[in-house]
Structure formats: structure tokens, C-alpha cells
Structure 1
């Protein structure tokens, strides 16, 4: 995931211990699963449709520089593609 490679485990741990209301972001929970066992992890929110999932339900992104794929967006995209194929075949 872009932008988080500079967060060292000890820095993250110290922050979470200092601020009791803080939650571990899903990206860092994936990087440091042992911290996810100790601290609460935020839900993942899709930036496109605002669908949420627990961090453990989020599948790995296709590559390290991309976001995880949202099931809801994938279903909608699949439905739209099928509709387009259907419309194209009617012509």
C-alpha cells in the first residue's frame, strides 16, 4: 500500500498505546497483524460506494500500489458489463 511503508511497528504501537480512542487502520493491520490482535482495527471504507468491511474481510489488492477491490463495486460493474453486452447484442 502506498504511503505507509515509513510507519515502523514500534511507532504505531506507541501511538495506539498513547491514544486509547485510536484504532489501527486496515492497511497497517495487514502490515502488522500482531498489532491487530492487540488493538482495535478500523473498518475499511470503499472510496467509491462507501461500503464497509472489517479489515479481515478485505481481500488483498491485485498489486501493492492499488486499493483493495470492493465486492459491491465489482458486482455493480459486472452487472453493468452484462447489461452493456445485452444491449450491444440487440443491435
Structure 2
């Protein structure tokens, strides 16, 4: 989440000189607030998804490291060559 954007958004609300008389609701402001809340929810859910993917990746890497340390990690030369060719083609 971008902190600077959030701070500037909140500061702009504080610096807002327009005042609504008591009891009146500014519908435009409500719509803007709803849109902003939805954007924040999307950003948070994207970050949560990325974190879960990172955790899964870390677990796989730790398993490979453990196998390498134990000497039980085996990979075929064909798989290595295929991966090298795939990277070179990209």
C-alpha cells in the first residue's frame, strides 16, 4: 500500500474548505469514498495473494536446499538443458 498517497488523500480531506450545512449529505463525496475504499481492498487482496505465493516459493526453496545439503537432490541433465534452452529462447 502506498503510504504517501494515503497521507496526501487524507490531507486533502482535511484541507477541504467546502462545508455542508448540518444534516445534508454530499452524494458525490460518498461515491468517491466508496470508489477509494474499493481500490484499497483490491490492493490489499493483491498483496495478500503475493505474500501467500512468496511463502509457497520459500517452502519449495527450503526443501530443495535441504535436499542439496543431504545430497539427495537429483535432477537430470536433460531437465537442466531444457531449462537453459527455454531461458535462451525468451
Higher radius of gyration, 1 or 2? 2
TM-score, structure 1 normalization: 0.35
Task: Compare relative contact order (CA 8 Å, sep 6+) and give the higher one, 1 or 2.
Answer: 2
Q: Which structure shows the bigger proportion of residues in strand conformation?
A: 1
Q: Which structure shows the bigger proportion of residues in helix conformation?
A: 2
